[in-house]
Amino acid sequence: MIGHTELAKRFGTPAYVYDLDRVRAARRDLLAALPDAMHVFYAAKANPHPEILREMRGRGDRCRAEISSVGELAAALEAGFSGADILYTGPGKTDEELTEALAKGVRLFSVESPGDLRRVGAAAGRLGVVADCLLRVNSVSASATTSIRMTGVPSQFGFDSETLPALREEVTGVPGTNVAGLHFFPLSNAEDEASLIAEFRHTIEKAAELQERLGVRFRFVDIGGGFSAPYAVTGERPVYGGLREALGDALDTHFPGWRDGGPRIACESGRYLVGDSGTLLVGVVNVKESRGRRFVILDGGINTFGGMSGLGRILPVSVQPDEAVPGTGEPAMLVGPLCTPGDVLGRDVALVDPAPGDLLTVPNAGAYGVTASLLMFLGRPAPAEVVVRGPEVVSVSRIEHLRTYVHGQALR
Domain boundary at 273, 289, 310, which? 273
Domain containing 293: what range? Answer: 276-397
Residues 282, 240, single domain; the answer is: no
Residues 249, 281, single domain; the answer is: no
**CATH number of the CATH domain containing 284:** 2.40.37.10
Instruction: Confirm whether 407 is domain-assigned.
Output: no
Instruction: Confirm whether 12 is domain-assigned.
Output: no
Residues 375, 335, single domain; the answer is: yes
CA-nearest of 39, 42, 38, 69 to 53 is: 42
Instruction: Confirm whether 49 is domain-assigned.
Output: yes
Asked whether the beta carbons of 152 and 187 are under 8 A apart, the reply is: no
Looking at the predicted structure, is the pLDDT value of residue 156 above 80? Answer: no
Instruction: Confirm whether 410 is domain-assigned.
Output: no
Residues 34, 165, single domain; the answer is: yes
Residues 240, 292, single domain; the answer is: no
Global pTM reads 0.93
Mean pLDDT on 188-197: 91
- Distances from the Cα of 345 to the Cα of 49, 159, 196, 381, angstroms: 23, 37, 29, 18
Residues 89, 201, single domain; the answer is: yes
Looking at the predicted structure, is the pLDDT value of residue 119 above 80? Answer: yes
In this predicted structure, what is the pLDDT of residue 313? 46
**CATH number of the CATH domain containing 169:** 3.20.20.10
Residues 40, 166, single domain; the answer is: yes
Amino acid occupying residue 129: V
CA-nearest of 239, 210, 218 to 227 is: 239
Question: What are the pLDDT digits (tens) for 361-395?
Answer: 999 999 999 999 989 999 999 999 999 999 999 99
**How many structural domains comprise the chain?**
2
Residues 289, 338, single domain; the answer is: yes
Residues 206, 280, single domain; the answer is: no
Give the dihedral sign, CA 71/77/81/86. positive
Q: How confident is the model at residue 161 (pLDDT cuts 50, 70, 90)?
A: confident
Of residues 314 and 247, which shows the higher confidence score? 247
